[in-house]
Each structure stands twice: as structure tokens, then as C-alpha cells.
């Protein structure tokens, strides 16, 4: 979340509240409730536990009814500015903590995994295990490939799977993360490999929100269905 988004959301938070449950009979009721849910979600995102909801309700009513406000505009601006800056610092600290924790978890995993039978480690740090060796051609960086795959985080969470979509994907070898570029060129058509990709060969410290956290070591089951010129699938073109 950017500083400007936090500042904007914090400003909105002073003008929203939570009403007691009501029957949504009229269109005005429904619009008001939908607006409240949307803004309430924003309050939760920027730090709902640090915001007094009763004060939010009070501010909402005073502003909506044209009453004299309990704070001067200058004081409100300073309050929101300070709040936004504090939240940015907290979020940055949390992000850095997550980066460090994921880096350590990835390092430990790869060290242990590299000792397992059948697992090989390349000079780049990519690890792979041959589940099935194909007999077809090996792709080069100039080729397009058709693959089936499933990607998982270290905790086993599946973040992407062509198997679930029941359709393989087609893309050029160089249009994917470095770990895939290297791994695909090790495979022959018809092969099935498991790739263990360190974050430096995947999405790095940035990750790929919201599915892939920063500094994530990833595991992919990859089936190289076909090597050859083919039109990139719509799914990969979007990515």
C-alpha cells in the first residue's frame, strides 16, 4: 500500500462509521450499506484496531448533519499525516521481517532438499528432480513450449495450476522467471520434472502479490508437453 493510499484511506476513515443493523428496504438503504461496507473494508485495511469506531461514527454524523466539528481542519490534517506515516513505518518493518523470514525458510529448505535422493542442484542454485524423462527434443530460448504445471509455496499452498484449469499453457521459453527458463532447457519433450526455485530465480524480494509473498522459494511440478512454435496462450499473454 502506498503512502498516498494510506493517507487517503485514513482521511476517509474520519468520515465513515458502522451503524446498527437495519433492514435494507429502500434503494437508499442498500446504497448506504454498500458504501459502508466498502469504506469499512478500507478502515480495516489501514489498521482498524488503531481507529476508534465510535469516534468515526461521531465524525460521520457531525459532517453529514453540518454540525460544528470537534477538531479544526488543520489539526485533522496533521493527525492523518502522522497516522499515515506511522502506518507506513509499521508496514515497512513488517515487510522487511517477512522478507528475512522467507529468505531463511527458503535457505533451510534448499539445503535439506538438496541432500535428498534424486535432487540435483545447478550452478545457479536451481534444484530439480526428474520424475519422468522424455525422449523428445529439448527447447532452446528461441522456442515456444506447451506445458502443464502446478506451483506451490513451501507450506504446500497451490498458487497456480494449469491442471486445475484443465488446459496446458503455451509461452516462449524466455517469457517466464529465470528458474523456469533454466529448468525448461534441461527437459526433453514428454518429461516431468519437479523444480525447486530459490527466490533469486523467481520473484525476489518483491514477490507476486497477492499469491506469492516476498522472497518465496517455490516448487513447481512441470510437464513439458510439446516443444515448437506455437501461439502464446491467452492466459500467459495476460501475465
- β-pairing, 144-152 vs 218-227, is antiparallel
- CA angle at residue 85 from 79 to 89, to 5 degrees? 145
Give the Cα separation of 191 and 140 in Å (integer).
Answer: 15
User: Given 6, 46, 128, 149, which residue is catalytic?
Assistant: 149
User: Given 16, 143, 160, 212, which residue is catalytic?
Assistant: 160
> Is 77 tagged catalytic?
no
User: Given 12, 51, 53, 177, which residue is catalytic?
Assistant: 177
> Is 196 tagged catalytic?
no
> Is 128 tagged catalytic?
no
Residue 128's DSSP bridge partners are 120, 195
Give the Cα separation of 77 and 69 in Å (integer).
Answer: 13
Give the Cα separation of 223 and 100 in Å (integer).
Answer: 32
Query: Under a CB-based contact definition with an 8 Å cutoff, are residues 174 and 181 in contact?
Result: yes
> Is 38 tagged catalytic?
no
User: Given 83, 128, 171, 220, which residue is catalytic?
Assistant: 220
> Is 159 tagged catalytic?
yes
- β-pairing, 144-152 vs 169-172, is antiparallel
Active site members: 149, 159-160, 177, 203, 220
Amino acid at each position: 500500500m502506498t503512502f498516498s493510499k494510506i493517507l487517503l484511506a485514513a482521511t476517509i476513515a474520519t468520515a465513515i462509521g458502522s451503524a446498527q443493523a437495519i433492514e435494507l428496504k429502500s434503494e437508499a438503504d442498500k446504497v448506504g450499506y454498500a458504501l459502508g461496507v466498502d469504506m469499512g473494508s478500507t478502515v480495516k485495511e489501514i489498521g482498524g484496531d488503531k481507529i476508534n469506531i465510535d469516534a468515526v461514527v461521531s465524525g460521520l454524523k457531525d459532517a453529514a448533519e453540518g454540525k460544528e466539528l470537534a477538531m479544526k481542519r488543520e489539526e485533522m490534517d496533521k493527525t492523518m499525516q502522522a497516522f499515515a506515516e506511522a502506518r507506513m513505518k509499521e508496514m515497512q518493518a513488517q515487510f522487511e521481517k517477512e522478507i528475512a523470514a522467507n529468505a531463511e525458510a527458503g535457505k533451510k529448505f534448499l539445503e535439506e532438499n538438496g541432500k535428498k535422493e534424486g535432487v540435483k542442484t545447478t550452478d545457479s542454485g536451481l534444484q530439480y528432480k526428474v520424475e519422468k524423462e522424455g525422449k523428445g527434443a529439448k527447447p532452446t530460448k528461441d522456442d515456444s513450449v506447451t506445458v502443464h504445471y502446478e506451483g506451490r509455496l513451501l507450506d504446500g499452498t497451490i498458487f497456480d495450476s494449469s491442471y486445475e484449469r484443465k488446459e496446458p499453457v503455451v509461452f516462449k521459453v524466455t517469457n517466464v522467471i529465470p528458474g523456469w527458463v533454466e529448468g525448461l532447457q534441461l527437459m526433453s519433450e514428454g518429461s516431468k520434472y519437479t523444480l525447486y526455485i530459490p527466490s533469486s530465480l523467481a520473484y525476489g524480494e518483491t514477490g507476486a502479490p497477492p499469491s506469492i509473498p516476498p522472497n518465496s522459494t517455490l516448487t513447481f511440478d512441470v510437464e513439458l508437453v510439446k516443444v515448437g512454435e506455437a501461439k502464446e496462450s491467452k492466459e500467459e499473454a495476460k501475465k
